[in-house]
Amino acid sequence: MSEECPERRFRTLFISDVHLGARGSQAERLLDFLRTHDADTIYLVGDIVDGWALQSNWYWPQSHNDFVQKMLRSAASTSWKTPSMRGSMDGAIS
């Protein structure tokens, strides 16, 4: 981490309404946030993937892949717990 952006540590972070697969998703901004903020537990609280948007128009840029890979690496590590909950836009992908 640089001196301009020191890492901040929390017990818990809640991530919601990421809407991966939708053009309006701000996955890059979220990745920037996660580079400077760490937590023991990160809750994925729904609407992480926008199944409705993916049904009508496939959109999946590299930043969406990067977010999924970061969460998978985090879930596999011993330092993070990553529980998840279903959101209203997740119904299309069940």
The string of pLDDT tens digits covering residues 4-45 is 666 899 999 999 999 999 999 999 999 999 999 988 888 888
Does 1 score more than 50 pLDDT?
Answer: no
- What pLDDT, on a 0 to 100 scale, did the predictor assign at position 86? 63
pTM: 0.73
- What pLDDT, on a 0 to 100 scale, did the predictor assign at position 35? 92
Pull the structure tokens for residue 89. Answer: 């836009």
Does 3 score more than 80 pLDDT?
Answer: no
* CA 48, 25, 60, 67 torsion-angle sign: negative
Q: What is the pLDDT of residues 75-94, one digit of tens each?
A: 777 565 555 656 665 555 55
H/E segment holding residue 42:
strand 37-44
- What pLDDT, on a 0 to 100 scale, did the predictor assign at position 74? 79
| Rounded (5°) CA angle 14-16-19 | 150
Angstrom distance (rounded) from CA 31 to CA 78: 20
Does 52 score more than 80 pLDDT?
Answer: yes
Pull the structure tokens for residue 25. Answer: 């998703």
Strand 37-44 to 8-15 pairing: parallel
